[in-house]
């Protein structure tokens, strides 16, 4: 990249790619690729997907009143990192409390130790699948995790949770927020899609490499430095994405492989050298014989 973030070759020529829209979708418009070098803005968490198995054989906890500081007041818990509007990370803890009603639990949620939701009813049917809430979603009331951040609206998706006769276990746990990130590099896949990588683990599509083909590639005019120009003989350029039409795929971070077998060529060179030396000896011998014949009196 040059100082302005454009991808260039040694001659300063800019790489032409298919651009992207605001949603990161590759479009058909082409132009010079300029990599985003600014920090990636944080994204607050709005959804947490929880897939746990709650033990159907569990009994209600000994302590009837829920207290996150007292392990005897709940049956199981799990934690996930969530992010506010400023990109700050907070620990959200979700607790599960078995009730006296069969197949029914109460859930509680805390952020940095403060209860932000609960009790919320979570019920299962006779097959162990979530029955209540019917949508599989628990909406946590808005809360502000830190001064200066916007209120957070987080929904817990629990439709993948189950109640089977086995020990508590967390099968899946994801959330959709992330902190801010700094640009660390680019990646290019075989289809030519260029991604900007950021320090927070996110990737953002920057464009897709545009390839060009010609009806008569032999008619291109060489300009030097491995560059060529379109001519009347070559025909008009046919632009396309890698892997489409007659265009090939790309290989990231690799040099072109030579079509010459160096070992084979070296052996051939040694053989040729030996043949030359042998022929030289034949000529020397013939010359000596000739000199001997001429010297006979």
Determine the straight-line distance between the first and last CA of the chain, rounded to whole angstroms: 84
Q: Which two tokens stand for residue 244?
A: 């489409």
Could you tell me how far CA 6 lies from the centroid of its own chain? 21
DSSP 8-class letter at 129: B
Q: How far apart are CA 183 and CA 203, in angstroms?
A: 9
Q: Which two tokens stand for residue 48?
A: 């947490």
Q: How far apart are CA 16 and CA 136, in angstroms?
A: 46
For the whole prediction, is pTM greater than 0.75? no
Q: Which two tokens stand for residue 282?
A: 């034949």
- 163 SS3 class: strand
CB 62 within 8 A of CB 46: no
Structure confidence at residue 229 (pLDDT)? 92
Q: How far apart are CA 168 and CA 149, in angstroms?
A: 34
CB 192 within 8 A of CB 83: no
Burial class (CB in 10 A: 0-12, 13-18, 19+), 178: buried
Structure confidence at residue 282 (pLDDT)? 82
Q: Which two tokens stand for residue 188?
A: 């290019």
Structure confidence at residue 297 (pLDDT)? 62
CA quadruple 261, 264, 269, 270: dihedral, nearest 10? 150
Give me the average pLDDT of each 10-residue run along the chain (297 residues): 88 91 87 89 95 95 94 96 94 96 96 93 95 94 91 95 95 94 89 91 91 92 89 91 87 75 89 88 82 76
- H/E stretch holding 283 reads helix 262-294
Structure confidence at residue 252 (pLDDT)? 78
Q: How far apart are CA 170 and CA 96, in angstroms?
A: 12
């Amino acid at each position: 990249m040059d100082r302005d973030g454009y991808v260039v070759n040694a001659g300063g020529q800019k790489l032409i790619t298919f651009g992207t829209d605001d949603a990161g979708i590759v479009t058909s418009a082409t132009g010079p690729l300029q990599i985003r070098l600014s920090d990636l803005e944080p994204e607050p968490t709005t959804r947490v997907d929880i897939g746990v198995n709650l033990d159907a054989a569990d009994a209600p906890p000994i302590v009837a009143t829920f207290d996150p500081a007292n392990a005897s007041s709940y049956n199981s818990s799990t934690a996930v990192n969530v992010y506010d509007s400023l990109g700050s990370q907070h620990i959200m803890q979700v607790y599960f409390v078995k009730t006296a009603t069969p197949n029914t639990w109460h859930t509680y949620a805390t952020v940095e130790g403060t209860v932000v939701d609960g009790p919320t009813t979570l019920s299962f049917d006779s097959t162990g699948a979530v029955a209540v809430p019917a949508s599989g979603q628990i909406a946590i009331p808005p809360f502000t995790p830190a001064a200066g951040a916007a209120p957070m609206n987080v929904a817990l998706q629990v439709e993948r949770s189950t109640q089977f006769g086995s020990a508590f276990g967390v099968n899946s746990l994801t959330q959709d927020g992330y902190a801010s990130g700094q640009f660390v590099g680019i990646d290019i896949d075989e289809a030519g899609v260029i991604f900007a990588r950021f320090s927070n683990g996110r990737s953002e599509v920057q464009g897709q490499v545009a390839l060009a083909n010609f009806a008569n590639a032999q008619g291109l005019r060489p300009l030097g430095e491995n560059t060529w120009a379109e001519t009347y003989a070559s025909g008009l350029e046919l632009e396309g994405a890698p892997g489409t039409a007659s265009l090939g795929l790309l290989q990231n971070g690799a040099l072109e492989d030579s079509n010459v077998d160096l070992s084979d060529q070296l052996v051939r060179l040694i053989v040729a050298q030996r043949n030359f030396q042998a022929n030289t000896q034949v000529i020397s011998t013939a010359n000596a014989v000739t000199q001997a014949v001429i010297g006979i009196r």
